[in-house]
Structure 1
């Protein structure tokens, strides 16, 4: 397994099905701030469903259509990022994130997202990366803005959750907008 050092005490690593127990404990801590923004948070409620979520991403990674990474702070899983969609042939993907409240404000998501964006653009040849977020999730929109993304618009009442429909903002970044290495 590999790890990307984000800070002195934080790492970005792949999240895999064998880590379902740790993932479930983390989701239980994160659920109040993550649900409804991350679809699988609401149905990863026991060990089997947590393992199924991670297995779905393992299958997507094997098919090169998605992947999931965790962020560990002082060896505790506190959040992560995932490619919900990864279309290498078409050159487009969607990157998303989540983070426990206790780990917010440290720049972990921005640092990890930059690493994954760089990989997507430089290594995998992506042309366009999207970032979808709720307008109520101000922190997520701020991350997209700091990453240099452009807010393209809002899909009104785009998805149901908790008995009502929610809006989704679409942010994007093109390969031509990504900084070239120094």
Structure 2
């Protein structure tokens, strides 16, 4: 298994089915903070469902259709990133993220996303990496901006969650922009 140090005491590494208990404990702790934007956080409510969720991404990775990574801070799982979609044939993928409240403000998501975008574009040859978020999720919007992504538009009432339809902003980075970013 690989691990990438993203900050002092913080690692990015794969999140796998054998870690279902640890993942469930993390989701239970983070749920009050992330549930407004992360629908699966309300579904992952026992170890079997946690294992099923993680196995779904393990299968997607085996099929080259998605991936799931966790962020550990001082040995505790505090968040993660996922390639929700991963389409090598099209050269396009979507990166999604979540983070516990106590881990915010340390740049963990931004640095982790940089590593995964580098891999997707540089190693896998993706032409495009998308970032989708509800416009009211100011922290997610801020990360997309820090990464240098362009806001390409808003899908109106495209995200049903908690009995309401929410707008979804689409941010994206294309290969040429990533290669020429000023902070590389």
TM range (shorter): over 0.9
Equivalent residue number for residue 24 of structure 2 = 24
How far apart in 1 are the matches of 2:68 and 2:136? 24
TM-score by length of 2: 0.96
Equivalent residue number for residue 86 of structure 1 = 86
How far apart in 1 are the matches of 2:59 and 2:133? 24
C-alpha deviation, 1:8, in angstroms? 1.6
How far apart in 1 are the matches of 2:177 and 2:15? 29
Equivalent residue number for residue 178 of structure 2 = 178
Any gaps of 5 or more consecutive residues in structure 1? none
Equivalent residue number for residue 9 of structure 2 = 9
Deviations 1:130-151 (A, max 9, x none): 0000111100000000000000
Q: Give the SS at the match of 1:24.
A: helix
How far apart in 1 are the matches of 2:14 and 2:169? 27
Equivalent residue number for residue 107 of structure 2 = 107
Deviations 1:37-69 (A, max 9, x none): 223212111111111110000000000000000
Indicate if the aligned counterparts of 1:36 and 1:42 stay in contact, CA closer than 8 A.
no
How far apart in 1 are the matches of 2:82 and 2:39? 12
RMSD after superposition: 1.2
Deviations 1:58-104 (A, max 9, x none): 00000000000000000000001000000011100000100000000
Equivalent residue number for residue 43 of structure 1 = 43
Equivalent residue number for residue 145 of structure 2 = 145
How far apart in 1 are the matches of 2:92 and 2:53? 22
How far apart in 1 are the matches of 2:160 and 2:20? 27
Give yes or no for the alignment of 1:97 onto 2:97. yes
Number of aligned positions between the proteins: 182
